[in-house]
Amino acid sequence: MKKFCVIVFVFFISFFYSQQEKEKKALSLEDAVLSYYNGLYPRTLSGLKWTENNQISYRNDSLLYILSPKSTTAKTKISKNTLISAYKEISSIPYFSSISSSNLYFFDKNKYINVNTANKTYSEISTTKSAQNKSVAKDHSKIAYTIDNNLYYANSKDDSIAITSFENPAVIAGQAIHRYEFGISKGIFWSPNSSLIAFYQKDETKVANYPLLNINTTPGELNSIKYPMAGQTSEQPQIGVFNTTTKNLIYLSL
């Protein structure tokens, strides 16, 4: 009887294992390279980021989840309807730029929205529609940005306060310098107390123009950019610091 039970057990184990082997499919080179858009990609969490109080947050359907990295079972859920009860302009859970214990911060077109989930209210900071390179202060009270070659900032009362006003388009403030080399990726830096704005500035007046062919038009056309060739004059960099309280602008000695 024992032998019979052992044989039956071995038979079922072998059958189960063979079925699993049949269900396995070898991953071909074509699958590995071309099947990303057919659903063959790693599972990810949408909008995954740290919150200001060291929690983990992510989006899922119409919910925002906030949880502790020490206990992933206890989750705080914030629904789209909760956001709409405070700020009615959204149609879905947005991608948040920052999250604190009771405040959700995100951009909505040219507005920076702060939703307070505790009392279901919101406040906003508006920028001009042409604003680029937006950088939010540490305390979320101000936003620095660029328009063309000049630098501006906005607060809850004024959407456009000029920091620089260069008429020469070759003098550029608030953007990355040295063609994004040497680890440079941006041009605006807020101080920890949100009162000072440090920024890169470059003067490309003596840099030669370099023609680039624009193939998106018919016929193609030439566009010029400033590009220093080997042995020629490079851009002249500076670092400016603007005090948003005193409105004083200084440049560091390099």
Q: How many domains does the chain have?
A: 2
Domain identity same for 245 and 160:
yes
pTM: 0.80
Last residue of a domain, one of 96, 126, 156: 126
**Is residue 154 located within the same domain as residue 108?**
no
Among 92, 126, 160, give the residue marking a domain's end.
126
Query: Is the same domain home to 100 and 211?
Result: no
Are 157 and 252 part of one and the same domain? yes
Is residue 133 a contact partner of residue 175, using CB atoms and an 8 Å limit?
yes
Is 78 in contact with 90 (CB distance < 8 Å)?
Answer: no
Q: Is residue 185 part of a domain?
A: yes
- Judge whether 94 and 130 are in contact, CB under 8 Å: no
Say whether pLDDT at 31 is over 70.
Answer: yes
**Do 107 and 147 share a domain, yes or no?**
no
Distance CA 224, CA 241 (A): 30
| CA–CA distance, 11 with 154 (Å, rounded to integer) | 74
**Residue at token pair 């809850």:** 156
- Backbone φ and ψ for 4, nearest 5 degrees, come out as -65, -45
In a domain, 41, yes or no: no
Is the same domain home to 147 and 102?
A: no
Q: Report the chain's mean pLDDT, rounded to a whole number.
A: 87
159, 254: one domain: yes
Name the pLDDT band for 166 (thresholds 50, 70, 90): very high
- pLDDT tens digits for 75-116? 889 999 989 999 999 888 999 999 998 899 999 999 999 999
Q: How many CA atoms lie within 13 A of 3 on its CB side?
A: 0
Encoded tokens for 182: 């040497």
Query: Are residues 119 and 168 located together in one domain of the fold?
Result: no
- Asked if residue 15 is part of any domain, the answer here is no
Same domain for 254 and 151? Answer: yes
Mean pLDDT, range 225-250, rounded to an integer: 94
Tell me the residue range of the domain where 67 lies: 46-126
Q: Which residue has the higher pLDDT, 29 or 76?
A: 76
pLDDT in tens, 138-160: 999 999 999 999 999 999 999 99
Report yes or no on 133 lying in a domain.
Answer: no
What pLDDT is stored for residue 6 in this prediction?
44
In a domain, 90, yes or no: yes
Shared-domain flag, residues 164 and 104: no
Are residue 63 and residue 173 in the same domain, yes or no? no
In the listed set 101, 126, 151, which residue is the last one of a domain according to the structure?
126
Range with the poorest average pLDDT among 70-74, 98-102, 189-193: 70-74
Residue 156 domain-assigned (yes or no): yes
Residue 5, domain member (yes or no): no
